[in-house]
Amino acid sequence: MINGSLTALVTPFKNGTIDEKAFCDFVEWQIDSGIHGLVPCGTTGESATLTDAEHQRVIELCVETAAGRVPVIAGAGSNETTVSIKYAKHAKSLGADAALVVTPYYNKPSQEGIYQHFKAISEAVDIPIVVYNIPGRSVVDITNDTMGRLASLPTVIGCKDATGDVTRVTGLEDRCGADFIQLSGDDPSSLGYAAQGGHGCISVGSNVAPAQYAALHNAMMAKDFVKALDIHKTLDRLHKDLFLDPSPAPAKYALSLLGKMDPHVRLPMTPCREETKTAVKAAMTRAGVSY
């Protein structure tokens, strides 16, 4: 089952291209640190700036390096349905375990349009789909009722909810069933999400502190919420300070301190401000991340 802490992987760049060695080493470090799953080519992976060839290559490298040890949920979202189908087909052909498909952004589709988008992908590609609901970036929200309709599609297995609203968990369980995989897309709310019955989180913070986030989610999956709260408190600043500047610049800066990759981000993302760097360093120290 897809659950626990799943890292929304950053994509390392060097000299304008993907740093393949850094990426493979990074994936290996994540797995060695106990992370529960990997999500390449999502928002944190700067998917909007990747060419089709780069998008496919990142997923290929992730699947090959993971080698079945943890699930790989490949980013396959687009605001054009045919492109999302193409990405989902690529993900399946490369051996990904599932596809993460975001609500179409910019177009502002109706709830019916959202349903038809996912229905078309489900009918075109036989790969498990995790629906990614992030109104802050896509402008439109998937209502609980629409998510219930999506859950009836044979390949839709769960959702990534980046609304930050932990009260949705029960409503979605009512409509989608207890087996519908509910993942938080927001580190600060992941504890509350789990307490309400959620199954894990697609995490940004686990890029920087995979062992700590794995421990947090291990505690939550064991229903030890006292222990989970203690760990959550040490990670609270990291949850938040990695977003003081547009993500993933702060996460890449932190990873550069750890010697994992160059901090470069592609425009329109820009490097961290100095005050953000200071805050990120303090958050890493609080989380027990040595650099």
In-domain check, residue 279: no
Amino acid at 237: R
List, for residues 150-179, the tens digit of each pLDDT value: 999 999 999 999 999 999 999 999 999 999
Cα separations in angstroms, 138 against 41, 78, 103, 162: 16, 10, 6, 11
In-domain check, residue 245: no
Residue 1 has pLDDT above 90, yes or no: no
Tell me if the pTM is above 0.85.
yes
List, for residues 113-134, the tens digit of each pLDDT value: 999 999 999 999 999 999 999 9
**In the chain, how many domains are there?**
1
Which CATH number belongs to the domain containing residue 24 in this structure?
A: 3.20.20.70
Cβ-based neighbours of 208, under 8 Å, separated by 6 or more: 238, 242, 251, 254, 255, 258, 284, 287, 289
In-domain check, residue 48: yes
In-domain check, residue 238: no
Lowest mean pLDDT among 19-23, 136-140, 233-237: 136-140
Q: What is the pLDDT of residue 85?
A: 98
Rounded Cα distance, 202 and 287, in Å:
18
Question: Is the backbone peptide bond immediately before 250 cis, with ω within 30 degrees of 0?
Answer: no
Give yes or no for a contact between 134 and 102, defined as CB atoms under 8 angstroms apart: yes
Question: Is the backbone peptide bond immediately before 271 cis, with ω within 30 degrees of 0?
Answer: no
In-domain check, residue 259: no
Q: What is the pLDDT of residue 243?
A: 98
Opening angle at CA 238, ends 74 and 8, nearest 5 = 0
Residue 31 has pLDDT above 90, yes or no: yes
Q: What is the pLDDT of residue 252?
A: 98
CB burial class (10 A; 0-12, 13-18, 19+) of residue 24?
middle
In-domain check, residue 290: no
**DSSP states of 157-221:** EEEEE-S--TTHHHHHHHHH-TTSEEEES-GGGHHHHHHTT--EEEESGGGT-HHHHHHHHHHHH
List, for residues 213-241, the tens digit of each pLDDT value: 999 999 999 999 999 999 999 999 999 99
Give yes or no for a contact between 241 and 280, defined as CB atoms under 8 angstroms apart: yes
List, for residues 35-57, the tens digit of each pLDDT value: 999 999 999 999 999 999 999 99
In-domain check, residue 291: no
Share the mean pLDDT of the chain.
Answer: 97
In-domain check, residue 262: no
Which sequence positions are flagged as catalytic?
Answer: 132, 160
Radius of gyration of the chain measured on its C-alpha atoms? 18
Q: Which has more pLDDT, 1 or 216?
A: 216
Residue closest to 71 by CA, chosen among 21, 156, 2, 137: 2
Share of the chain above pLDDT 70, in %: 100
Q: Which domain holds residue 41?
A: 4-225
C-beta neighbour count of 197 within 10 angstroms: 13
